[in-house]
Amino acid sequence: MPTAPTIASSPGFHPGSLDPLLFVLGGVALLVAMLALSNQRGKLYSASVVYLLLGVATAVIVTALDVRWLDPLRDALVIEHASEVAVIIALFGTGLALERPLGWRNWASTWRLLGLVMPLTIAAVAAWANTAMGLSIAAAIVLGATLAPTDPVLAGDLGVGPPGEPDRSEPRFALTSEAGLNDGLAFPFVMLGLLIAGPATSKGWALPWVLGDVVYGVAVGIAVGVVVGIILGRLYRSWRSSGHVRTTFDAWIALAAVLAVYGVTEILDAYGFLAAFAAGIAFNQAEEDDEADRRVHRGAILAEKFGELALVLLLGSLLSVDGLGLPSTAGWLLVALLLLVIRPAATLLAFIGSALPFRERLFIGWFGVRGIGSLYYASFAAASGLLPDAESRVVLWTVLIAASVSIIAHGLTAEPLQRLLLGDDPTEGDPEAEREEEAAVEGDGEDATDGGASAKNDDAGPAEGGDAEATGAPGAA
């Protein structure tokens, strides 16, 4: 006896799964991002603040609808890889924008930030986490290294302009170059904490850590980035000059380059973050065409902005009332100390003897933005499984709180403090955006001119008595 066929639906209205809600939220987020990025200049907010608030709204919606969402600890590996992609793209774009020749004097501000501010921050945060928050020394070192770097994704709007733009602002250069290097240089200290937490800890761990995690990881990462960046820069210049690649696709090379260099470096077990930044600098030097560099940089910035939207939105959506209470009062105090005391004080100390004006030192000290890079390191440590779950949760939630507070505090103060401390006018337009708009207007004008000329020729044809078929005009009947 034949069985009745299975039907795909049944009579009546039956709402489907709430999973498609993610598509709706994604579409709304992109629309909001377009508005925020188009109107943030000269306003008392940044686009990242809008993204964070949108993420918090998402958290409220998914909680109210009881939709299964990501958990910072359970889904640490997913968050790690998502933030990893956003960071490496930002690092390549950051390196691509820096054209100042390398040297002790030219990069003096950078060396002060890396050599003094970063280790002082790691030590201060680790000491507080161990004594006030009760974390083990291993987890405290991990938290210190995680919260030490200035974020390359979120600090981009405060940094230098695109390739070819004049580099006159030392504070902007200092923040940009610091963000490019300290995300990679924090990795050895994260590994130090995990090494201490691991079961294989013994009194003979120091030398392998120094030789492997510090010397080898840093040296090979930078070397691979420089070599691959130069090769890709020269190769792409050759392709474009010979006509094998159209300039339309210049923006694509940024993604291709950063994925290739990061993959090669990770295969060699070195630090891909350093390689991505070094590759951006090397690519710029090898390309030698400012206009082409700007097109490549534009591609990196577009991908970076999308990554910023996705990750800040994700960060906001992870927040919950229960999670915000996990670090306790001591964790919240650490966030306040980090932003208001530790970073500014370490910066002022590091710049003793510098010719940099005091107000510019204050600018650098305040805008040590924490964000996606810190989220990556916290997720990396949690996904390793070397820290106890309880400590991993405290580290993760302390970082989520620090990044959220940093986004709000730095996002709301960016424009007024740029005006106050640097003398910049926030209402002035973005040079790169203005060039794009001018190019678009010129293109529209050319199209209109061509169209008008074509119409005039079409009208003139019959008046001149020409026979379309006789003259062999294409398309004539």
> Using CA atoms, how far apart are residues 402 and 263, in angstroms rounded to an integer?
30
What pLDDT does residue 11 have? Answer: 60
Determine contact, residues 177/106, Cβ cutoff 8 Å: no
Task: Give the pair of three-digit tokens for residue 289.
Answer: 């065409």
- Comparing CA positions, the residue from 99, 85, 86 lying closest to residue 281 is 99
Q: What letter would DSSP give residue 213?
A: I
List, as own/partner pairs, every contact residues 431-437 make where C-beta atoms lie below 8 angstroms and the sequence separation is at least 24, other chains included: 431/161, 431/162, 431/165, 432/161, 432/162, 432/165, 432/294, 432/298, 436/298
pTM of the model: 0.83
* Per-residue pLDDT of the chain in tens (477 residues, 90 and over written 9): 555 555 555 565 555 566 677 777 778 877 877 777 777 665 666 788 888 999 999 899 888 888 788 999 999 999 999 999 999 999 998 998 888 888 889 999 999 999 999 999 999 999 999 999 999 999 999 999 999 999 988 877 787 777 767 667 899 999 999 999 998 999 999 999 999 997 765 567 788 899 999 999 999 999 999 999 999 988 888 887 787 877 777 778 888 899 999 999 999 999 999 999 999 999 888 876 667 777 888 888 888 888 888 899 999 999 999 999 999 999 999 999 999 999 999 999 999 999 999 999 999 999 999 999 999 999 999 999 999 999 999 999 999 999 999 999 998 998 889 889 888 765 554 544 444 444 444 444 444 444 444 444 444 444 433 343 333 433 333
> Using CA atoms, how far apart are residues 419 and 293, in angstroms rounded to an integer?
29
Determine contact, residues 379/396, Cβ cutoff 8 Å: yes
What pLDDT does residue 464 have? Answer: 39
Amino acid at 318: L
| pLDDT tens digits, 129-168 | 999 999 999 999 999 999 999 998 887 778 777 776 766 7
Domains of the chain as residue ranges with CATH: 23-424 (1.20.1530.20)
What pLDDT does residue 466 have? Answer: 39
Query: Percentage of the chain with pLDDT > 70?
Result: 81
> Using CA atoms, how far apart are residues 180 and 170, in angstroms rounded to an integer?
15
Residue 295 Cα to chain centre, angstroms: 18
- Comparing CA positions, the residue from 74, 4, 41 lying closest to residue 393 is 74
> Using CA atoms, how far apart are residues 332 and 338, in angstroms rounded to an integer?
10
Residues in the chain, total:
477
- Comparing CA positions, the residue from 26, 113, 135, 134 lying closest to residue 360 is 113
